[in-house]
Amino acid sequence: MKRLVLFVVGSISLVSFGHQARAQRAPADTSASVAAGGLQRQYNQLVRNAWSLYNGPEYIDYVRSNTNGHRFFGTKDEQLATVTYAGTTYANVLLRYDLIRGQLVLKPYQDDFQIQLVNELVERFSIGGHTFVRLGADAPGRAAFYDVLVDGPVQALAAHYKKYTEHTTVTTIEGEITATTTYYLHKDGQYYPIKKPKDVVRLFPEHRAALRSYLQKNNEPEPEQAFIALVRYQAELAAAH
């Protein structure tokens, strides 16, 4: 954090000094002054935005090194991501999503420390080909963010969780991380838990026969993919009517 502050202050000082030096050498050209003023405002806004993103508490590692599994979404390594934070969207930032604590972890470029973003300021983020959103007080579960599997008038959502436990062996203490996912369907302002395909069929009585027929013909073994395919097919049926 100190290096960022020094860079920002030093850059602003250099810009200000350059403006003063030009003012002493010759009368300012009006068009040049206007352009310089616009650049200065853009730069100041950039600094304010960067300060907002990098102004969170430091993220401290809490998992033992001899732990089976990892705590993050997708991969344990940082991923290039896009995040909308405090009203500003940032692209190509290095993020990880801690599924145990429900925290977004930001790694500044060329720095060893990591920053924990403030959840209340995160509107949405995209990482590893998935888009996550923060829901309001009516969120269906305890997840910090929800994976939007299918977007539209009817949404298919997933809440990903991981749990960290420690157990003692004869010689040491070992950690273990396990993962679970729960699914929800958002329809007409309500969230419905989905545990099996029949739960989706029940929510659309007008398409019950077509959805049942689809399930019989398409036996998808992966639960998440089956959920996604069924909701997308329902959207096709709704659009056709």
Nearest to 133 by CA among 116, 101, 156: 156
Tell me the C-alpha distance between 194 and 149, whole Å: 13
Q: What is the 3-state secondary structure (H, E, C) of 143-175?
A: CCCEEEEECCCCEEEEEEEEEEEEEECCCCEEE
Neighbouring residues of 167: CB distance < 8 A, sequence distance ≥ 6: 173, 174, 176
pLDDT at 59 over 60: yes
pLDDT digits (tens, 9 = 90+) for 37-54: 555 554 444 445 566 788
Tell me the C-alpha distance between 171 and 178, whole Å: 23
DSSP state of 117: P
DSSP state of 206: G
DSSP state of 102: T
Q: Which residue shows structure tokens 């960067």?
A: 50
Q: Domain extents for the chain?
A: 2-53
pLDDT confidence of residue 220: 87
| Of the listed ranges 20-24, 75-79, 179-183, the one predicted with least confidence | 20-24
Task: Select, from the ranges 17-26, 110-119, 174-183, 212-221, the one with the highest average predicted confidence (pLDDT).
Answer: 174-183
Query: What burial class does residue 93 get, using C-beta atoms within 10 Å of its C-beta: 0-12 exposed, 13-18 middle, 19+ buried?
Result: buried
As a whole number, the mean pLDDT across the chain is 84
Tell me the C-alpha distance between 241 and 237, whole Å: 7
Bigger pLDDT: 127 or 22? Answer: 127
pTM of the model: 0.78
pLDDT at 29 over 70: no
Nearest to 32 by CA among 40, 44, 12, 16: 40
